[in-house]
């Protein structure tokens, strides 16, 4: 997948305060992807960390799926449906995981399962179920 760097933006001060204080490193506000300043600066550097590139691929997968479904339908379903939100996060994780596996980089599935089962994603799945699902991905 080609990365359109013009679609990647750093968090504003407000976003840094609001999202950064909740442990959110990046998110999509279609058609842009926003990252905290450390990740943003790394991504635009000449030698970005593969883990950060993996996050970019994850977020671009969301953009691709938003374009396919339509922005408002996607936002509506993502906001109200745990099942839809989980499906979308797993699909986006597949892009990241494939990239990292191809580089022989270990993926911390326990950390990802904690996030999927936590407040950031509105407790959409239990930790145990998330970990099992991620191990199958």
User: Can you give the pLDDT at residue 1?
Assistant: 55
Q: What is the pLDDT of residues 87-117, one digit of tens each?
A: 999 999 999 999 999 999 999 999 999 999 9
Provide the whole-model pTM.
Answer: 0.93
Count of other CB atoms within 10 angstroms of residue 49? 14
pLDDT at 8: 97
Distance between CA atoms of residues 11 and 34, nearest Å:
6
Residue 134 has pLDDT above 70, yes or no: yes
Give the model's confidence band at 22: pLDDT under 50 very low, under 70 low, under 90 confident, else very high.
confident
In the chain, which ranges are continuous DSSP H helix? 13-15, 37-43, 50-69, 71-80, 82-102, 109-116, 127-136
Q: Predicted confidence band at 23 (pLDDT cuts at 50, 70, 90)?
A: confident
pLDDT in tens, 29-73: 999 999 999 999 999 999 999 999 999 999 999 999 999 999 999
């Amino acid at each position: 997948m080609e990365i359109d760097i013009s679609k990647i933006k750093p968090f504003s001060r407000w976003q840094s305060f609001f999202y950064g204080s909740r442990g959110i490193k990046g998110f999509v506000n279609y058609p842009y992807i926003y990252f905290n300043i450390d990740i943003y600066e790394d991504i635009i550097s000449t030698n970005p960390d593969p883990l950060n590139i993996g996050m970019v691929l994850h977020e671009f997968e969301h953009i691709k799926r938003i374009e396919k479904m339509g922005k408002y339908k996607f936002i509506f379903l993502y906001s109200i449906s745990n099942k839809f939100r989980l499906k979308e996060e797993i699909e986006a994780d597949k892009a990241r995981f494939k990239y990292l596996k191809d580089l022989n980089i270990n993926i911390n599935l326990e950390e990802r399962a904690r996030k999927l089962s936590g407040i950031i994603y509105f407790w959409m799945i239990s930790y145990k179920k998330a970990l099992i699902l991620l191990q199958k991905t």
